[in-house]
């Protein structure tokens, strides 16, 4: 049995690193595919539309739709928490996922976990599966938002 002074203590761990890496690669591949389809023959793309304005509208739509998920993955990079370890009584080591495939770790004051916003993550849209993805929103000292997936493992949520 651990004493109250034994550190480090694992507080939270998420095992979705490889899933996030795979989704990031799929989003990158989709983005490259969209750019290739549009720009490999731009004149042919615009010939599909009766009016150049419609061509530009379609071009804008495909670029936004084809890159929206990649933009979301880039935003999550450095924000999606993979692990929180209490290193000392007042210090946490936070490890976040990175789109490059490498994890980033930084030291944060324990106060990070004092003010936590719970986001329900429910989505009820007609004709699509129901989504239940609750998460915690943490704010660092630099006012950066961190995302803690509630479906991870909270090993030791009670701090020493």
Sole residue written with tokens 């004149």: 43
- Report pLDDT digits (tens) over 70-110: 999 999 999 999 999 998 888 999 999 999 988 999 999 88
Predicted pLDDT of residue 40? 94
SS3 24: helix
In this structure, the chain runs to a length of 160
Q: Comparing C-alpha atoms, which of 12, 8, 21 is closest to residue 149? A: 12
Decide: 16 and 149 in contact? Cβ < 8 Å. yes
What is the value of pTM for the model shown?
0.82
Residue 136 CB partners (closer than 8 Å, separation 6+):
116, 117, 118, 119, 147, 148, 150
In this structure, the number of other CB atoms found within 10 A of the CB of residue 137 comes to 14
% of the chain exceeding 70 in pLDDT? 92
């Amino acid at each position: 049995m651990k004493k109250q002074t034994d550190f480090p203590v694992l507080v939270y761990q998420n095992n979705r690193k490889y899933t996030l890496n795979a989704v990031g690669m799929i989003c990158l591949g989709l983005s490259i595919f969209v750019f290739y389809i549009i720009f490999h023959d731009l004149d042919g793309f615009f010939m599909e539309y009766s009016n150049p304005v419609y061509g530009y509208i379609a071009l804008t739509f495909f670029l936004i739709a084809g890159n929206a998920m990649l933009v979301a993955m880039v935003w999550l990079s450095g924000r999606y928490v993979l692990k929180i370890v209490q290193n000392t009584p007042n210090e946490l080591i936070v490890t976040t996922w990175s789109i490059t495939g490498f994890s980033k770790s930084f030291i944060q004051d324990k106060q990070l976990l004092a003010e936590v916003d719970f986001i329900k993550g429910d989505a009820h849209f007609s004709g699509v599966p129901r989504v239940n993805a609750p998460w915690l929103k943490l704010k660092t000292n630099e006012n950066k938002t961190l995302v803690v997936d509630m479906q991870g493992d909270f090993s030791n949520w009670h701090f020493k």
